[in-house]
Chains A and B, each alone.
Chain A
């Protein structure tokens, strides 16, 4: 692990939930930036690429799916792992089974992980850490 704090971008339109994720992650020693929609998130990642993004799907202005496509189509940002944090898979019995297909487009890499809302602290942290170490190992090799 690097000496500097690892940087995570949390994207979700529900401010309280964002604050919750931020509290959990900061408590565990991560540096957290927040964005409330895809538009904002896109400018955030362009300005300062984070080490990891947690992404909600259903957001105003620009949905998580659109943000994901645009981010992953920029080569510079492609290697940033994305964890999709959504309630859609469980909440919506109609769209639920298709949520993962939203991201299967244009030969872009798939999201690194899915986490269902509501998410517990331990679950989130374990997934975040796992994905961070995987990408770190990939960068080093």
Chain B
């Protein structure tokens, strides 16, 4: 990332532009072109005013004088005679000596308005009109200025927004590379632990073996979480799947035997109803990750010794397979179930601190990418059952075979 182009400097620039819209020529200079074109007459009037107002009081005084004078003239020359016409129309006695028929009846009150004895009345009209013109001019000027500032800020914001979008894209790409690197490193660590575990001799210290097992499990779990993160980001962009044919029992057995599962906390079993299920065409990696997430959640969020049963059966309409992950733990309250599948929403009553909260959101996304549904059936103290369906006939998504 370049120096000084981070979010902080963007904020500083933006605040400067908002606080000193008139003084900040460097920021406004480039931006001024666009709003003038976009806003037409108003913006250029505002621009004018903005430039003028930098020259302190004489300009605005002149401007006020101009508004006042034109207002006065308008009152004296236009409003006053018109008023005379109207008054005469209301009551002919108000202007005696103004006789005549036809056009003359209109002209005589106008002429009457310019008689010397009517000057004071003209002055009243003129001053009244001048006052209105002054006030109107003042507010019109302010409005133009504000409009101009708004247009400038809109352009600035647009530019910043574009930059932020670009930064976000770069950021996302970098994160992807980085996360992928992590995955590689983690796999190497875990792999070496595995190599060492394989070499174990009868004389080897059991504590050493246990430590190695823990290293392997933790790195595998971390690698899994990292993978979920990558997949989550990928699914958010496009729900393309790498589908392949597989059997349900193979899926379930693989998951139950996953060394990344915290099986030291409880027991994972595979039920027997899945034997009736036909094979499926799914993104194996994703479905496995969903199951692993469900099982490790069940183990982590319950007391040690919890029993988790993985199974699957054809759904009632036999167009889908319903996978179930059932535990005999303390279950979930309704409130917890409501936020369950939200991103980074961990259950409030868990005593588990190491949850990232992405797990179930990832599960939801992965299942929905397959065109299925995921939900939870539980009541407090009665254990929990997570169910998700995978349709047998994939439809309506771009199908990338691997």
Contact = CB atoms under 8 A, between A and B. Distances in A.
Interface of A: 14, 16-17, 19-20, 23-24, 27, 87, 90-93, 117-121
Contacts of B186: 118
Contacts of B183: 87, 117-118
A20 B186 CA distance: 12
Nearest to B183: A118
B195 A87 contact: no
Interface string B143-186: 00000000000000000000000000000000011001001111
B184 A93 contact: no
A12 B177 CA distance: 18
B6 interface: no
25 contacts: A14-B188, A16-B188, A17-B184, A19-B192, A20-B188, A20-B192, A20-B195, A23-B192, A24-B191, A24-B195, A27-B198, A27-B199, A87-B183, A90-B180, A90-B230, A91-B177, A92-B177, A118-B183, A118-B184, A118-B191, A118-B223, A119-B187, A120-B187, A120-B191, A121-B195
Contact of A117 (B177, B187, B234, B237): B187
A20 B188 CA distance: 6
B194 interface: yes
Interface size class of chain B, counting residues whose CB lies under 8 Å from the partner chain: 10 to 19
Contacts of B199: 27
A91 B180 contact: yes
Contacts of B184: 14, 17, 87, 117-118
A117 B188 CA distance: 10
A36 to B, nearest CB: 15
Contact of A87 (B180, B198, B237): B180
A50 B186 CA distance: 29
A91 B195 contact: no
B285 to A, nearest CB: 10
Interface of B: 176-177, 180, 183-188, 191-192, 194-195, 198-199, 223, 230, 234, 237
Nearest to A23: B195
A119 B223 CA distance: 12
Nearest to B191: A20
Contacts of A87: 180, 183-184
- In the complex, which of the residues A14, A24, A92, A93 has the most CB atoms of chain B within 10 Å of its own CB atom? A93
A28 to B, nearest CB: 10
B401 to A, nearest CB: 12
A50 B96 CA distance: 126
Given A17-B184, A117-B184, A118-B223, 5 more contacts: A14-B184, A16-B185, A20-B192, A117-B183, A118-B191
B187 A118 contact: yes
Contacts of A27: 195, 198-199
3 tightest Cβ-Cβ pairs between the two chains A and B: A118-B187, A91-B180, A23-B195
Contacts of A90: 180, 230
Nearest to B234: A93
A24 to B, nearest CB: 7
Nearest to B177: A91
A12 to B, nearest CB: 10
Nearest to A21: B191
B31 to A, nearest CB: 34
A118 B177 contact: no
